Chain A
Amino acid sequence: MKFDRRFIFILIVLAVMIPLLFPIDLPVAITDETRAVYDRINVLDSNSVILMSFDHEASSLPEVRPLAEAVLTHCFQRDVKTVGLALFAEGTAIGYDILNDVAARYGKMYGIDYVYLGYRPQYSAAILGMGESIRGVFPADYDDTPYDSIPLLSGVRNYDDIDLVISVADGSLPTYWVEYAQARYGQKIIAALAAVMVTAYTPYVDAGQIDGLLGGLKGAAEYEKLLGQPAAATRRMDAQSLAHLSIAVLIVIGNIIAFAVRRGKRITEEGRS
């Protein structure tokens, strides 16, 4: 039985649009993996320095931006010093925007509370190089201010001075952080990932190579709930829920129709014989 695929497209449009226009406020349950990330950041304070790497492309922005914003919000709430950088060219401008936006909300001072180093190509060399000297890899920040004249970076030489690396990614970049920063320098790493990559990184969490995993829009919504500040991810969870439900219903309908067609054919063949 043929079914015009345009009906499926319309169904998905409605499943996404309606909850965005008229929120349902579905309850978001907090998973252990999100709580683990929250607890890991919650022990940091104003003496801690984290390095947030924007390792993603612009295409996954609707999913990774809420993730990055939620984690950054928590860091700034706890006065954690934040060093931003990008190992994907497209993440450069996005990271710069997100970091400045969230910092502005909390009145953070550039160069004192946070800094953005910009982009470096060849991620394996950049990750390894920062293990030796971050200044060697980034002699100046994104705005071309020399490394040595940025107060926040005065005591930051290499991974020894970084409490946590958070890789916001939609691809395989956290693997390089594990292989080069964790395995060689013992750097603690948290991966904030697009949902599609979560399964790929669960083995690293089990093996203790990644300290925590924050997955997709749901992970961001859970984090927002832990922060007590529902934002973009929480609003979008309703739309994602209905879209998932629609696809599940389509799979069931497709199978019922296929079963009915197969059964009809079998009955016809039996009737002929």
Chain B
Amino acid sequence: MLKKSPILVCAVCGVFMITQYFITAEPVTDLYRSVLDWMQIIFVCALLVGIINVILRQVRMASRPGRERIYPFITLFGIALMVILGFGWGIARGSPFLWVFDNLQAPMQSTVFSLLAFYVASAAYRGFRARRAESIILVLAALIILLGRVPIGEIVSPHVPSVVGWVLAVPAVAAKRAILIGIGLGMTATAIKVIAGMERAYLGGR
């Protein structure tokens, strides 16, 4: 029963969400609105489970001896600090919560993200090798896109932006469409399998 109930719930919800798209009757629309509310409620509960899981994991890590135990302490301190600041002084403009976010979290995240530029440059130097015909095309496309997506491309040659436009609008879109169609078909097939109870990986099994 424990295993069958989620499959049944999933099948009923799945079939309902498909059929409601085509039915505009008021009772069905009302039920649809309730389902949307429930989706948010379930998500918030899942978020809560996630937060508890992170805290328990960090507490376990902090209790282990070693130099790296400082990191879980920092994480736990960060969680506690933001909760206290948020509930204590609110989240409006000028609040300590927003000050911490604007002056600590946002610059730190931007800094870590910016480091990618250095690794991209280093990897481009070491990795972009024109050995075969395919890799020559790849290197040439990379060079054209790199220069064409910034103003300097037009200084190099007035044709660079139009070539970039063609590369992005034709070969790149063709490849992207093929991937999107593949993903769409895969999602449809998986959804049907989940609704039919054939796909049960989400229950923790195989």
Cα separation A199 to B110 with both chains bound (whole Å): 22
- Determine if A26 and B147 form an interchain contact, defined as CB atoms under 8 angstroms apart: no
- Determine if A59 and B109 form an interchain contact, defined as CB atoms under 8 angstroms apart: yes
- Determine if B122 and A8 form an interchain contact, defined as CB atoms under 8 angstroms apart: yes
- Determine if B124 and A254 form an interchain contact, defined as CB atoms under 8 angstroms apart: yes
Q: Count residues on chain A whose CB falls below 8 Å from chain B CBs.
A: 65
- Determine if A58 and B106 form an interchain contact, defined as CB atoms under 8 angstroms apart: yes
- The one of A16, A132, A202 in contact with B168, judged by C-beta atoms closer than 8 angstroms, is A202
- Determine if B122 and A5 form an interchain contact, defined as CB atoms under 8 angstroms apart: yes
Chain B residues with a Cβ under 8 A of chain A:
21, 29, 32-33, 36-37, 39-40, 42-44, 47, 91-93, 98, 101-102, 105-106, 109-110, 112-114, 117-118, 120-122, 124-126, 128-130, 139, 142-143, 146-147, 149-152, 154-155, 161, 165, 168-169, 172-173, 176-177, 180
Residue numbers in A under 8 Å from B114 (CB-CB): 62
Q: Does A255 contact B (CB under 8 A)?
A: yes
Cα separation A194 to B114 with both chains bound (whole Å): 13
For residue B154, which residue of chain A has the nearest CB?
Answer: A29
- Determine if B105 and A58 form an interchain contact, defined as CB atoms under 8 angstroms apart: yes
Knowing A121-B40, A199-B168, say if A250 contacts B121 (CB, 8 Å): yes
Cα separation A128 to B43 with both chains bound (whole Å): 15
| Nearest chain A CB to B34 CB, angstrom units | 11
Q: Does A57 contact B (CB under 8 A)?
A: yes
Residue numbers in A under 8 Å from B124 (CB-CB): 247, 250-251, 254
- Determine if A122 and B43 form an interchain contact, defined as CB atoms under 8 angstroms apart: yes
Chain A residues numbered 74-127 whose CB sits less than 8 Å from any CB in chain B: 90, 93-94, 96-97, 100, 120-122, 124-126
For residue A10, which residue of chain B has the nearest CB?
Answer: B118
- The one of A94, A195, A221 in contact with B106, judged by C-beta atoms closer than 8 angstroms, is A94
Residue numbers in A under 8 Å from B36 (CB-CB): 125, 128-129, 132
Cα separation A120 to B155 with both chains bound (whole Å): 45
Q: Does A42 contact B (CB under 8 A)?
A: no
| Nearest chain B CB to A166 CB, angstrom units | 21
Chain A residues numbered 29-77 whose CB sits less than 8 Å from any CB in chain B: 29, 31, 57-62
Cα separation A255 to B102 with both chains bound (whole Å): 42
- The one of B91, B139, B150 in contact with A255, judged by C-beta atoms closer than 8 angstroms, is B139
Cα separation A148 to B157 with both chains bound (whole Å): 56
Residue numbers in A under 8 Å from B43 (CB-CB): 121-122, 125
Residue numbers in B under 8 Å from A100 (CB-CB): 93
- Determine if A26 and B40 form an interchain contact, defined as CB atoms under 8 angstroms apart: no
15 contacts across the A-B interface (CB closer than 8 A): A3-B125, A12-B121, A26-B155, A58-B101, A62-B110, A90-B109, A125-B36, A125-B43, A128-B36, A132-B32, A199-B173, A202-B168, A203-B173, A241-B150, A245-B150
Q: Does A192 contact B (CB under 8 A)?
A: no
Knowing A129-B33, A143-B92, A202-B176, say if A195 contacts B122 (CB, 8 Å): no
Q: Does A237 contact B (CB under 8 A)?
A: yes
Residue numbers in B under 8 Å from A28 (CB-CB): 151
- Determine if A244 and B173 form an interchain contact, defined as CB atoms under 8 angstroms apart: no
- Determine if B118 and A27 form an interchain contact, defined as CB atoms under 8 angstroms apart: no
Please, what's the 1-or-0 string for A131-154, where 1 marks a CB less than 8 Å from any CB in chain B? 011001000001100000000000
Cα separation A240 to B165 with both chains bound (whole Å): 19
Q: Does A260 contact B (CB under 8 A)?
A: no
Residue numbers in B under 8 Å from A120 (CB-CB): 40
- Determine if B128 and A202 form an interchain contact, defined as CB atoms under 8 angstroms apart: no
Q: Which 6 A-B pairs have the closest CB atoms?
A: A125-B39, A122-B43, A59-B113, A26-B151, A58-B106, A241-B150
- Determine if B168 and A198 form an interchain contact, defined as CB atoms under 8 angstroms apart: yes
Knowing A8-B122, A100-B93, A244-B146, say if A203 contacts B180 (CB, 8 Å): yes
- Determine if A247 and B150 form an interchain contact, defined as CB atoms under 8 angstroms apart: no
- Determine if A60 and B113 form an interchain contact, defined as CB atoms under 8 angstroms apart: yes
Residue numbers in B under 8 Å from A218 (CB-CB): 149-151
- Determine if B149 and A195 form an interchain contact, defined as CB atoms under 8 angstroms apart: yes
Q: Does A270 contact B (CB under 8 A)?
A: no
Cα separation A12 to B118 with both chains bound (whole Å): 7
Cα separation A125 to B17 with both chains bound (whole Å): 12
Knowing A129-B36, A255-B129, say if A59 contacts B154 (CB, 8 Å): no
Knowing A124-B39, A248-B147, A251-B128, say if A241 contacts B152 (CB, 8 Å): yes
Cα separation A199 to B174 with both chains bound (whole Å): 10
Cα separation A216 to B154 with both chains bound (whole Å): 18
